[in-house]
Amino acid sequence: MHTPDLVFRGRRLTSDRALVMAIINRTPDSFYDNGATFEEAPAQAAIRRAHAEGADLIDIGGVPAGKGPEVSAAEEIRRVVPTVEWAREHFPDLVISVDTYRAEVADAVCRAGADLVNDNWAAIEPEILDVAAEHGAGYICSHTNGLVPRTEALRPVYDDVVAAVVEGTTALAERALAAGVPREGIMIDPCIDFGKNSYQSLELLRHVDALVATGWPVLMALSNKDVIGETLDLPVGERVIGTLAATAVSALHGAAMFRAHQVRETRQVAEMVASIIGTRPPANVVRSV
């Protein structure tokens, strides 16, 4: 299964394997790294490292997904825009995504050079679609089952979680397209753990093929999340193997991109799966040939 070409503000990503999006957190309270890249210098070092390890794009975020102190739009811009500007200057060909749900922030980061708006909260600010369209940026369509940003669902109930996610993400993709977002820059994200418990997230992981069958490229953001921790009964720092297992299954079923903390390992999984499927040739065959 060949990964579809994606184009973000003229930057085309073509690959014979699933793509890797490196996570760069400009927050002091991320669930995974607890502020390791909150300051500008460590963030820049993380971008250099992600690029060297084979990231196809980076995703910079200034507000954690979970509960915590309020982060104003002005503070989010202060955190993220300088990092975007630096990355654009030093890596002119790298695709830059920004994780934000605010239209004002999306506009600021696109003006600074970002190519993709990764909106985890399903256009809760509808104007964000117009911002992406105005800049010719890509847009990621998420499913959160109506959650307010930075909140968690209490006992979420679905008749069919897979059908609900397919319906919600594809409807948002059509809205983005109608707003003028370029079709080659639109992706869908089931938002594992957002508005879902671990049973429901596992159900989605079993049916990635149903998301792929919509025709919209699928982003999977599952790196070190609670579904991995609760399934294996492991703390955040011990979820890499489970994450990579879920990555392999999702790649086998056609996911186009993975948002990842571990870039090198995720890329190796994507390459191995692609070679098993047959879209990617082995890199160096010398034995018995």
Domains parsed from the chain with CATH numbers: 6-277 (3.20.20.20)
Asked if pLDDT for residue 3 goes beyond 80, the answer is no
Asked if pLDDT for residue 244 goes beyond 70, the answer is yes
Give the pLDDT mean for 138-150.
94
pLDDT band at 153 (very low <50, low <70, confident <90, very high): confident
Element (H, E) at 156: none
Asked if pLDDT for residue 235 goes beyond 70, the answer is yes
Q: Give the model's pLDDT for residue 149.
A: 93
Q: Which two tokens stand for residue 80?
A: 């993220």
Token look-up 């594992």 returns 192
pLDDT band at 285 (very low <50, low <70, confident <90, very high): very high
Q: Give the model's pLDDT for residue 33.
A: 86
Q: List C-alpha distances in Å: 21 to 59, 142, 201, 261.
A: 6, 16, 20, 9
Q: Give the model's pLDDT for residue 61.
A: 97
Task: Identify which of 186, 207, 204 has the alpha carbon closest to the alpha carbon of residue 194.
Answer: 204
Lowest mean pLDDT among 30-39, 70-79, 155-164, 232-241: 30-39
Q: Beta 186-189 vs 219-220: how paired, if at all?
A: unpaired
